[in-house]
Structure 1
């Protein structure tokens, strides 16, 4: 490989990791916004932007520590994963110097910024892990280039799909972290990306030191002893014969070497309680999780403990997790479990019915903890077109389309439909497979699962459409304690050791995170970011799919998913910055969670109010009493900036709006406001003369929405009237025009107000318009009076406003016809 090629692979690896890091930061921190265009009053920034073709950025506000960062946007996603262009640049706010910023420098800024909230953040440790992830991906990409084997075909078997996740989980800042493997030889031998193959290591351990359970009713160690006897040499056979009461325990060969270095294992060897026999038998290959291994001829997949830091944690099987696999396996064999499977055959559970642990002096040695999983992809079943969901949603590798693109294109050919039509219908079918069973299993049987991309397999039919889902992972099974009595009736011992019976209040945010953010919206993102379908169309489909169950759902899950202003998202970046190991953390607090704006509320998003697509006049009405015509049009930053700067610097506006000051600051405000989804600015004209500005806002994204029980259909609006001359203000018709403009959008349920409690004039003004007092709320910057105004209240007070609205609606219908 020549130097140039190697340099390019290094660049791809760093940019892939950088994309993941930027997205993790966006999910976990709030000091960022979209920034549109080239500034007029910021010469250094304008000078740089004119040298590029990017006109939309995400601006990371690190001004508290003296910097700001601009990352060019290729695709902005409500579904949660944006696609960035490069380079990313930082600007020193003291010197105005603008320079490209590396992924390491951005991580430094992230850590420095987060210290006030997370003083334990450790930059040196995270940098090491970041370097490890970048270098590993570069190795894998080099292997991919040399191997030349496609990993994006529309038809792939189970293990091909499992080993195709080269870019890693795109919701993680360290997607290819494998800290623990000591060199490239180990990395390649034990990684799925390189189709590593190895024999298992075997221990012979005193039966008194081995604990095992199997829902299938036999000891797995006996099966392993038989298998080992078939392949071992005479010397090993002699050892087995010498210790007939010892048990055979298989082990991942890397973990076997790790265990042999432990003082407890050495003590067991000295006491004759444990013997390491070596590596024998069939060759196994790792699945996407690295530590779970597969052989197409075996009835079982083995999920080993592995003291390698893979993304967030050393992958060690916890005892409670082993019992969870056993519990669900036992439950599914009961009448209760069979009923669940029969009612929702769309999902097949790949269970872990057996496990093994090893103890010494009463303490479990966690490296020996093994979960033993059914292998539904054995022999002829191995050729099924089954894919790991995370791999299906992966971006394309150099020179290849993403696999999902190939799947949709092949499905379009098979169905003789357009790609865009096929993509939407493909997604509808995927939704049907997911939503009905997940809601039904939780409502009817109290079963909840960590249904994320890494735990879900999708089987495709002959037309490449979703046909069936598989769920795996023993640690991901939970049961609602609302169903505890019924569950214990069929399986009395359930959750005694696993801790898997949990309160409904615990399940709702976790299930929503795994099912929605990680799974369904991951599919939305993959379809939309690859140009296969419109993101808003897909999100609306998700909303409708859940909405149909709102009245029948008894758990609160559907209400939580479709109506809540924000969900909880796991802070993978913060979990790493604070060096939290999820595997060993307490069960009730294994990671840091942050608020994530609920994308499904976008079903109620009013584009005309918040993201208007036209600079033309959007509203016009004649007020005969005042003999004035009021027009409302979108704010045009090139036309209106200087004018509104003068308005905000008037004495009567300063104390209320607090937006006076240099025009450079105001321009920054508007360049981040205009592309956002929280609020927008419009200019009002009276008889053709600009005299006021209104700022409609959406509480689902605006901060006020967190201060009361906001609904997705709520909207509000701020108003600034520039003239102070009472003959030019026309305050009351201006207020009516504002409400007309808001309420002519049928998606709006009510308009809210939140004037400062001391603003008596605004309270009187709002009351005259039809607003009614609700309560006092505490906002970050003021104590405010919350008021509501419904369309009917407004129209009852002003019949002429209703007549105007009805006339405009009739005109619109006539134009549409």
Structure 2
């Protein structure tokens, strides 16, 4: 770890939180765009941006406050988790003043913005918890620095990876929230500080206790053996247990024990002689990354306790159905069904929770005692299991304080073993990872009807000696779910399997759960990790994913793979909106705010040539003998074309149809947002070298038009504006043919679409002349439109000679019979 001052560490913590908040805006608010370059006609923005060398900014619009925010983009991701430089600035549009802002101010703007849709949204508590989270990140970074621990080393034991984890959830604004712990308690109980502590035990009347175990020993018996071993010299303890031989000894997290003892019900139970406080005993445990799940390297079990501490977005309470869920899955795994799972998926180990404890009084569950007992496959045995097993979140951690990320160090080691380049090694690592997880998830869904919520902290990756993935572990009792259609079958295997765990879910809901936890939270996070660290191109990894899914689709009878491939949007959890709406995602999972996440796999059909052309040179040049005109196309050059476009759009015939007769500053903003986007690009068309028309090529799946029909990712649309009014200078058909030639020449394009206004008869007649057909009339926010389509065959039927067109920057002089 590099040497860093306390001030640098504090600043790093602030930047981590601020980056998360910015990315939450990108994913959840729908008010973001990219802004390219330094403006010419916006003096205030020009003056500010000229001080820095940032070529790209994230622009956030907050119209209610009449404010816009600009954040310098250091790395732009296909998965919508970008990296930023600082400072971030706010421009007040009413006063034309610019100032630097912090995360708290951004949170205020966000809250005002979303109240238009969520009137009860409140930032007060979120701001407090966000500040606490930032302080904890700084505290943990300082702790690692002073203790000399490296949180990015390539090799780690299970517990090291759980605890050397400074930044936490990279898409949750309360990533290191520990609301409820004091400073001293953080040092003692947080995983990042590596504190060890003994468990607290209570003696409880058996009539209050419900406990289950698939093992020969009940959790209370195991706890009793622990207490007796630790207190073998304690006569009072032995006398007490002899007096109450049927009572149950139950472990509780020591923080939770203190919390419980401050409740009225504790005093009531003691007075009624239903509970006795035994105190702390036995071996010391330490927290895993979940905080409430504790580990001892000599114990057969880990405990997942209830903890009335707000960790990220929720108080971490074990609900009764979740306890039963873990137990029932353990029952299932002890049958031939479980044997078949282990045989079918040898590279995956499901870490089960074989037992649980619950205590009720007067019909009310006492949450403090609700405990799930989990197997500990990472008990010290001298085997390789101890080594290099890491939660996925640890592998996805960013570079911090100037040190390379852990994944970067792992790939460097792996590259030395493979003898391949960093990029090729990264792609190989990724292929091995998805070969294990993707095949298993899809097959398990089809054949066992089982779903695991494979998010980053539930997924453990074991690396082999060559630093490649060789095995995955899944943990979390509450995250085992099943398809509703398998309920009868599984109840026949384990009678009563569906009675208590609430784990049978309709397929459509399971699809979205898988998309959130497994696809966006796991697979795409790995894609982002390789991209953000400069190890591999995200687009290449997405293509690898697409290829793998296409293979799996052939055998997938459930529709899951088709749903992943073909959905325009995936429904995922909005962490920021959920927090601002004060929804406890643990206690109220149905109330979680869901958002539309664009299907990034559709980038497979994204035409870089159409929407992101390189350079400013001609992309197409064609001679039309009949009209004796050469039509050329080139990408927009904003520095040289802006004034010309401004004049064009102020012509009378442009005002009514295009409605872009804006001031130069507004038009410049439009193009500085358009050019770096992935939805639309602008070209200048020329007749005999003279600019005469403008076309925009757009990708409907990322455009509002996609809301009005069953859009495909292979659909591409165009807008066309011809500037001259003199018929001799318009060259309408040659210009239109060049536009269509250019679009259809790209292999990604399936069909062309259009949405011309119904009152623009000339435009539609021109389209029809070139092969377009009206599909239907649609009511868009700004106009009533003719939705129209064109396939290559329709166009070539009208212009058969164009089928052999070669798209290049050289004119085609030999085409005849036009």
> TM range, normalised to the smaller chain?
over 0.9
Distance 1:330 1:774 in 2: 56
**CA shift for structure 1 position 809:** 13
Distance 1:269 1:18 in 2: 48
In the alignment, what sits opposite 1:320? 321
**CA shift for structure 1 position 529:** 0.6
Identify the range of structure 1 (392-401 vs 449-458) with the bigger mean alpha-carbon deviation.
392-401
Counterpart of 1:472 (choices 472, 475, 489) is 475
In the alignment, what sits opposite 2:816? none
In the alignment, what sits opposite 2:35? 35
Distance 2:724 2:8 in 1: 59
**CA shift for structure 1 position 4:** 9.5
Contact 1:448 1:478 in 2 (8 A): yes
Distance 1:614 1:7 in 2: 43
**CA shift for structure 1 position 810:** 15
1:147-186 mapped onto 2 (5 Å cutoff): 147-181=147-181, 183-186=182-185
Counterpart of 1:498 (choices 481, 498, 501) is 501
**CA shift for structure 1 position 205:** 0.5
In the alignment, what sits opposite 2:530? 527
In the alignment, what sits opposite 1:815? none
Contact 2:482 2:503 in 1 (8 A): yes
Distance 2:134 2:67 in 1: 25
Contact 2:622 2:630 in 1 (8 A): yes
In the alignment, what sits opposite 1:768? 769
Contact 1:750 1:788 in 2 (8 A): yes
Distance verdict in 2 for CA 1:4–1:544, change over 3 Å: closer
In the alignment, what sits opposite 2:55? 55
Partner SS for 1:278: strand
In the alignment, what sits opposite 1:133? 133
Could you give the per-residue CA deviations for residues 372-420 of structure 1, whole angstroms, max 9, x where no partner exists? 1110001124622101100110012325321101100000111222212
- 1:413 equivalent to 2:416? Answer yes
Identify the range of structure 1 (301-310 vs 146-155) with the bigger mean alpha-carbon deviation.
146-155
Distance 1:454 1:706 in 2: 35
Identify the range of structure 1 (703-712 vs 26-35) with the bigger mean alpha-carbon deviation.
703-712
Could you give the per-residue CA deviations for residues 590-637 of structure 1, whole angstroms, max 9, x where no partner exists? 411100111110011100110111210001111122111110000000
Distance 1:217 1:297 in 2: 19
**CA shift for structure 1 position 332:** 1.6
1:110-509 mapped onto 2 (5 Å cutoff): 110-181=110-181, 183-232=182-231, 233-380=234-381, 381=383, 383-509=386-512
Contact 2:620 2:809 in 1 (8 A): no
For structure 2, the 5+ residue unaligned runs are: 813-818
**Alignment TM-score, normalising by the size of structure 1:** 0.97
Distance 2:79 2:60 in 1: 19
**CA shift for structure 1 position 808:** 9.8
Distance 1:806 1:75 in 2: 33
**Alignment TM-score, normalising by the size of structure 2:** 0.97
Partner SS for 2:652: coil
Distance 1:293 1:378 in 2: 12
Distance 1:94 1:189 in 2: 50
Partner SS for 2:5: helix
Distance verdict in 2 for CA 1:806–1:84, change over 3 Å: closer
Distance 1:12 1:145 in 2: 13
Contact 1:63 1:93 in 2 (8 A): no
Distance 1:647 1:809 in 2: 27
Partner SS for 1:539: helix
In the alignment, what sits opposite 1:661? 662
Could you give the per-residue CA deviations for residues 271-291 of structure 1, whole angstroms, max 9, x where no partner exists? 011111101110000000000
Partner SS for 1:642: helix
- 1:578 equivalent to 2:577? Answer no
**CA shift for structure 1 position 801:** 1.1
Partner SS for 2:552: coil
Contact 2:189 2:287 in 1 (8 A): yes
Contact 1:684 1:693 in 2 (8 A): yes
Distance 1:655 1:340 in 2: 65
Distance 1:572 1:237 in 2: 50
**CA shift for structure 1 position 782:** 2.5
Distance 1:808 1:336 in 2: 63
Identify the range of structure 1 (235-244 vs 37-46) with the bigger mean alpha-carbon deviation.
235-244
Distance 2:347 2:706 in 1: 38
Distance 2:809 2:684 in 1: 20
Identify the range of structure 1 (68-77 vs 540-549) with the bigger mean alpha-carbon deviation.
540-549
Identify the range of structure 1 (306-315 vs 372-381) with the bigger mean alpha-carbon deviation.
372-381
Could you give the per-residue CA deviations for residues 257-303 of structure 1, whole angstroms, max 9, x where no partner exists? 11111222221111011111101110000000000000010010000
Could you give the per-residue CA deviations for residues 207-263 of structure 1, whole angstroms, max 9, x where no partner exists? 000001112254211111111111123222222221111101101000001111122
Partner SS for 1:257: helix
Partner SS for 2:729: helix
Partner SS for 1:301: strand
Distance 2:80 2:195 in 1: 33
In the alignment, what sits opposite 1:65? 65
Counterpart of 2:565 (choices 546, 553, 562) is 562
Contact 1:27 1:569 in 2 (8 A): no
Contact 1:682 1:694 in 2 (8 A): yes
Query: Across the two proteins, how many residue pairs are aligned to each other?
Result: 806
**CA shift for structure 1 position 806:** 8.7
Contact 1:562 1:600 in 2 (8 A): yes
**CA shift for structure 1 position 62:** 1.2
Could you give the per-residue CA deviations for residues 125-183 of structure 1, whole angstroms, max 9, x where no partner exists? 111101110111111111111111112211111000111111111011111111000x2
In the alignment, what sits opposite 1:758? 759
CA RMSD of aligned residues (A): 1.7
Identify the range of structure 1 (3-12 vs 684-693) with the bigger mean alpha-carbon deviation.
3-12
Partner SS for 1:709: coil
**CA shift for structure 1 position 569:** 2.0
Partner SS for 1:293: strand
Partner SS for 1:175: coil
In the alignment, what sits opposite 1:814? none
